[in-house]
Amino acid sequence: MSKEKLGLNTICAHVGEVKDEQFKGAVSPMFLSSSYEFLDVDVKRYPRYFNTPNQEYLAKKIAALEHTEAALIFGSGMAAISHMFLAFLQKGDHLVVQNTLYGGTVNFIKEEFPKYGIEYTFTNGYKVEDFEAVIQPNTKLIHIETPSNPLLTITDIKAIAELGKSKSILTSIDNTFASPVNQNPIDLGIDMVMHSATKYFGGHSDICAGAVASSQEHIDRIWNVSKNLGGSLSDMTVWLLERSMKTLGLRVKTQTKNAMKMAKWLNKHPKISKVYYPGLKSHPEHKLAKSQMKGFGAMLSFELVNGLDAYQFQKSLQLIKSSMSLAGVESTVISPHLTSHALLSQEERDKVGISDQLIRFSVGIEDVEDLKQDIDNAIAALI
Ligand SMILES: *Cc1c(COP(=O)(O)O)cnc(C)c1O
């Protein structure tokens, strides 16, 4: 059976299992060896070479989910993104990167690229024209993030892939927010996909990991850099990640359904002034999102009406946790103006549309009626 033909949940449950030949157990054994036979073997295995049995096999599951030939698993999402960038950019090269981007990626580019002599330009927006406008003769990579954090803007993946191809520039995407359950950028022509596996892949807020999926050729090139930089994931965590990923489809589909219901409900709520969710018809890129996503994802943001304090609102929630990370089975919220965008001035925040009333909501698997009740109770406590 070809892997591409298997359904999403079958890939989640089965692809990339390490067979237990000795005892015929149902799940992958955990191989913790950091030392392997080297005489007369085909593969010289070592954890930092990303090729212990658990690492090698789980990478097959990720590659199957993203419709690529190969994948590499890292110790964090930032390790995945930094190794990918450093494999394809060297001194004198230029990166075009979306302005609305995960904060850690922004920091990596701004703090580390000057040390390597790599040039970069942040776009002025998330539309294809914004990317095209800043391409230079030495541009080697275009990197996008869609849906973006925290305002859920949507970038045209196919148009970006075509732009890259027309100018012989590679393209990459941070697919963390959508996950392969809701979006397969490789099918739309993007060259490389990366994930913070800390988020939906892990899904239970207890793993820090990352991954890149691409052609064998690109993955080999990344591997050549990664074996020098280190950053592989411990096999115990790889094993835990495999267990988590068996339910990736089930979790994310439920979370996505819940997010749609919550977005519609919040959109009608008298104490909520605005909802940002690509699944709503009122979202400016709803049609584009519909054309390139299988589902609209489980992340959304909303604004409380003026006069309701966002900090107090979060303190008043009982079920929904205010928590920095996202994508767990439990619903969480954060205030971007107190966390990811806290270092910006009020003026800068106004410019990018991050108001003090904005709440980012990672929708979990709970029953939506309970989530609605929790939000209603928290609002009632403020009035
Ligand atoms: C969390 C996150 C990252 C970074 O991943 P870590 O696992 O924290 O290193 C990158 N991109 C996005 C969109 C994220 O949400």
Provide the CATH number for the domain around residue 257: 3.90.1150.10
- Mean pLDDT, to the nearest integer, of 90-104? 94
- Mean pLDDT, to the nearest integer, of 220-237? 97
> Which protein residue has the closest C-alpha to ligand 1 atom 2?
196
> Which protein residue has the closest C-alpha to ligand 1 atom 5?
77
Same domain flag for 258 and 206: no
- Mean pLDDT, to the nearest integer, of 123-135? 97
pLDDT over threshold 60, residue 339 = yes
pLDDT over threshold 60, residue 43 = yes
Q: What is the pLDDT of residue 1?
A: 47
Same domain flag for 33 and 175: yes
Q: Which residues pair with 232 in a beta bridge?
A: 74
Q: Which of 222, 245, 268 is the last residue of a domain?
A: 245
Q: What is the CATH number of the domain that holds 19?
A: 3.40.640.10
Cβ contacts of residue 23 below 8 Å, gap of 6+?
Answer: none
Give the number of domains in the chain: 2
Same domain flag for 252 and 236: no
pLDDT band at 311 (very low <50, low <70, confident <90, very high): very high
Same domain flag for 211 and 252: no
Q: What is the pLDDT of residue 15?
A: 97
pLDDT over threshold 50, residue 39 = yes
- Mean pLDDT, to the nearest integer, of 190-214? 98
Same domain flag for 154 and 27: yes
Q: Which of 213, 230, 245 is the last residue of a domain?
A: 245
Same domain flag for 125 and 66: yes
Q: What is the pTM of this model?
A: 0.96
Backbone angles phi, psi at 223, to 5 degrees: -55, -40
Q: What is the pLDDT of residue 325?
A: 85
Same domain flag for 160 and 201: yes
Same domain flag for 139 and 197: yes
Q: Which residues are catalytic?
A: 48, 102, 174, 199
Both tokens of 376, joined, read 């209603």
Judge contact between 253 and 203, C-beta under 8 A: no
Residue 333 Cβ < 6 Å to ligand 1: no
Same domain flag for 209 and 166: yes
> Which protein residue has the closest C-alpha to ligand 1 atom 6?
77
pLDDT band at 341 (very low <50, low <70, confident <90, very high): confident
Which atom from ligand 1 is nearest to the alpha carbon of 149?
A: 13
Tell me which residue range forms the domain holding 152.
Answer: 3-245
Angle at CA of residue 197, ends 88 and 121, nearest 5°: 35
Residue 74 Cβ < 6 Å to ligand 1: no
Same domain flag for 21 and 140: yes
Q: What is the pLDDT of residue 352?
A: 82
Judge contact between 93 and 100, C-beta under 8 A: no
Both tokens of 199, joined, read 């988020």
Exposed e or buried b per residue across 130-163, where buried means at least 16 C-beta atoms within 10 angstroms of its C-beta: bbbebbeeebbbbbbbbbbbbbbbbbbbbbbbeb
Judge contact between 101 and 110, C-beta under 8 A: no
For residue 382, report the distance from its CA to the centre of ligand 1, in Å.
Answer: 33
Q: Which of 226, 245, 264 is the last residue of a domain?
A: 245
Same domain flag for 369 and 299: yes
Cβ contacts of residue 61 below 8 Å, gap of 6+?
Answer: 11, 12, 15, 16, 242, 245
Query: Per mean pLDDT, which range of 128-132, 218-222, 295-299, 322-326 is the poorest?
Result: 322-326
For residue 270, report the distance from its CA to the centre of ligand 1, in Å.
Answer: 33
- Mean pLDDT, to the nearest integer, of 284-304? 98
Judge contact between 358 and 309, C-beta under 8 A: no
Query: Per mean pLDDT, which range of 21-25, 98-102, 290-294 is the poorest?
Result: 98-102
Same domain flag for 208 and 265: no
For residue 150, report the distance from its CA to the centre of ligand 1, in Å.
Answer: 13
